[in-house]
A and B are shown apart, each in its own frame.
Chain A
Amino acid sequence: MTYAIEAQGLEKTYPPSTKALDGLSLAVSEGTVFGLLGPNGAGKTTAVKVLTTLAHPDAGAARVAGIDVLADPKRVRRAIGVVGQKTGTAPELTGRENLELQGRFHGLRGRRLRPRVDELLERFGLTEAADRSVKTYSGGMVRKLDVAIGLIQQPPVLFLDEPTTGLDPEARAAMWDEIRRLRSEAALTILLTTHYLEEADHLADRLAIVDRGKVVAQGTPDELKAELEGDTVHVELATPQPNGRAHHALESLAQIRELRVADRELHARVENGAAALPAILAALGQAGLDVATATIARPSLDDVYLRYAGRSFAEAERASEPDVTEKGGNR
């Protein structure tokens, strides 16, 4: 198996003491879409910055397209396309001029440049807007142009850092379609970072869950979900529970493998949700706790995240401090 992207023990601390990467390792097979999933501030963007030669790690090693990132950053830059979290398009230039400028950086000129630019404009539905300045583009159009620029030299490896953050639902759906199309290109390897669970679930062949600067779990979305056998029972109490009473009431139930209680919310992992639910409700009733809603669900990536990061995705999002390197977004 050849890997298009390999990272080993990457570490990076921003002064004074923000540990953005804490021994992050990953391996991405050629021709696949690899999702890096984590809340804001988990270290995804820093990982992309290191792998794309923008930032130097304090420790660790990385290879992209078989090239050592630290030893030969110039060759890596020829082999990658990068769509950062921010756009990276010059607003005063037209879409065409933006593409041409980046093409020239890759040594494309004249007769080799023009058809490639036209082809990309066509493919991303930007032909009509090609000669308007990017200032006049919608958010979705700018994002498409960003991806087009990332593909200008037909790189073997493409990095997409939160490509859909800040897009409206329609533009997001269009971007998903685009990523699916890219996925079908056998020669292209994509590293996609996202803090949308469903995005990783839908688009990634394999994914790594990142928390606090390291990979805490890795596999296909199905594998990760399968590791959580059984169902999740989710109970919402009618009133906030007094200290640990719900926990106390349920901990003796044999069906429950894992239990998490936060304020009015209970998450229990059980083998058979339908069988366990009556027992759970009865136990809560005995403890004098009123139940508002109860649901049984197959494990989602949210549960996977909860399991490996030890906190729910929403909690992790809230805990992440506002951070200049990672733009805040709503989930």
Chain B
Amino acid sequence: MTAVALNSWDMTRRWVLALWRQPWYVGVTLFQPVVWLLLFGALFKNVVQIPGFEGTSYKDFLAPGVVIMSAVFSAGWNGMGTIEDLDRGVMDRFLVAPVSRAPLIIGPLAQSAIVITIQSVIIVGLALAIGASFPGGVPGVIALIACAVLLGAATAAVSNAIALTARQEETLIGATNFLILPLTFLSGCFMQLSLAPGWIQTVGDYNPVNWAVAAGREAVSANADWAFVMARVGLLAALAIACVLLATRAFRSYQRSA
């Protein structure tokens, strides 16, 4: 067990170094959410005037949405590193070394979690700077980031499972866009779902992106309903575990076909 923990740390370190040495990637990953925040903030500013919209500031509404959306987007590409490892022979070399499979999947997920945490802090900071408020305070923001990280872990695990199964960048890019864009736009990231058509609300009930954004937004609101938040966090955690198991299975199927 200690070996698994130590090797998980080794792999996390490897993936963080890998990221850190791609300054362009780091820059884009951290900068893009800022663009979303400013862009959507300006584009949908008048949404608050729609009758039935709860709240008076779209910035307040949007900030948690951008945190969640950025988490899914960056986590969706997590499998790209795995495909590179497969192409280069790094994965095969890891698989013939005495390291258990867990660290091989925990490494990229931890990298994703770290990116999401930093990204989220930057978004919250910028949102505050442009005048958004988080009445839930620090505990609320921490819960919001936890939602983002859990959703990101689930997304990153699926991304790795696809990478191990398809072993092709093109397929991963296609699958990621196919899954993530609709799930994001059919969630409450930008729009209060109670104002959307009924079928979108129904989709939202089963859409993990919406679980995360609803829970995160509730957590940062004044007088948050913590029972609701914790229930959604529980759902997201269960989903993340299921997705990690799926990724582990993908490892086995990769090895069977080797």
CB-contact partner of A87 in B14, B89, B95, under 8 A:
B89
Chain A residues in 8 Å Cβ range of B3: 107
Chain A residues in 8 Å Cβ range of B6: 104, 109
3 cross-chain pairs, A with B, having the tightest CB-CB distances, nearest first: A86-B89, A88-B93, A105-B97
Please state if B258 and A92 are interface contacts (CB–CB under 8 Å): no
Chain A residues in 8 Å Cβ range of B7: 104-105
- For residues 61 through 116 of chain B, which have their beta carbon under 8 Å from a beta carbon of chain A? 85, 87-90, 92-99
Using A82-B93, A88-B93 as known contacts, list a sample of 4 further A-B pairs with CB atoms less than 8 Å apart, ordered by residue number in A.
A74-B98, A89-B93, A97-B14, A107-B3
Chain B: minimal CB distance from A146 (Å): 8
Q: Does B223 contact A (CB under 8 A)?
A: no
Please state if A133 and B98 are interface contacts (CB–CB under 8 Å): no
Q: Does A307 contact B (CB under 8 A)?
A: no
Known contacts A84-B93, A86-B88, A88-B89; A93/B98 CB under 8 A? no
Known contacts A78-B98, A104-B7, A105-B98; A92/B92 CB under 8 A? no
Chain A: minimal CB distance from B128 (Å): 34
Chain A: minimal CB distance from B93 (Å): 3
**A94 nearest CB neighbor, chain B only:** B17
Q: Does B171 contact A (CB under 8 A)?
A: no
Chain B residues in 8 Å Cβ range of A55: 255, 258
- Bound form: Cα–Cα A101–B89 in Å: 15
Q: B interface, by DSSP: helix, strand, loop or mixed?
A: helix
Chain A: minimal CB distance from B203 (Å): 37
Q: Does A80 contact B (CB under 8 A)?
A: yes
How does the 8 Å CB contact mask read for B214-258 relative to A, with 1 for contact and 0 for none?
000000000000000000000000000000000000000001111
Please state if B89 and A85 are interface contacts (CB–CB under 8 Å): yes
Please state if A92 and B22 are interface contacts (CB–CB under 8 Å): yes
**A106 nearest CB neighbor, chain B only:** B98
**B103 nearest CB neighbor, chain A only:** A105
- Bound form: Cα–Cα A62–B6 in Å: 31
- For residues 99 through 125 of chain A, which have their beta carbon under 8 Å from a beta carbon of chain B? 101-102, 104-107, 109
How big is chain A's contact interface, by range?
20 to 34
Please state if B10 and A101 are interface contacts (CB–CB under 8 Å): yes
Count, chain B residues at interface, CB 8 A: 26
How does the 8 Å CB contact mask read for A135-177 relative to B, with 1 for contact and 0 for none?
0000000000000010000000000000000000000000000
Chain B: minimal CB distance from A58 (Å): 11
- Bound form: Cα–Cα A178–B10 in Å: 30
Q: Does A234 contact B (CB under 8 A)?
A: no
Chain B: minimal CB distance from A48 (Å): 10
Chain B: minimal CB distance from A153 (Å): 9
Chain A residues in 8 Å Cβ range of B130: none
CB-contact partner of A89 in B22, B90, B97, B98, under 8 A:
B90
Chain B residues in 8 Å Cβ range of A104: 6-7, 10
**A135 nearest CB neighbor, chain B only:** B21
Please state if B18 and A54 are interface contacts (CB–CB under 8 Å): no
- For residues 12 through 37 of chain B, which have their beta carbon under 8 Å from a beta carbon of chain A? 14, 17-18, 21-22
Known contacts A49-B258, A97-B17, A107-B3; A91/B88 CB under 8 A? yes
**B94 nearest CB neighbor, chain A only:** A105
- For residues 201 through 224 of chain A, which have their beta carbon under 8 Å from a beta carbon of chain B? none
Q: Does A314 contact B (CB under 8 A)?
A: no
Q: Find the residue from B14, B94, B97, B257 having the highest chain A CB count within 10 A.
A: B97
Please state if B97 and A77 are interface contacts (CB–CB under 8 Å): yes
* Contacts A/B (CB < 8 Å), 29 sampled: A49-B258, A54-B92, A54-B95, A54-B255, A55-B258, A74-B98, A80-B96, A82-B93, A84-B89, A84-B93, A86-B88, A89-B88, A89-B90, A89-B93, A91-B88, A92-B18, A92-B21, A92-B22, A93-B18, A97-B14, A102-B97, A104-B6, A104-B7, A104-B10, A106-B97, A106-B98, A107-B3, A109-B6, A149-B93
Q: Does A260 contact B (CB under 8 A)?
A: no
Q: Does A90 contact B (CB under 8 A)?
A: yes
Chain B residues in 8 Å Cβ range of A149: 93
Chain A residues in 8 Å Cβ range of B255: 54-56
Chain B residues in 8 Å Cβ range of A54: 92, 95-96, 255, 258
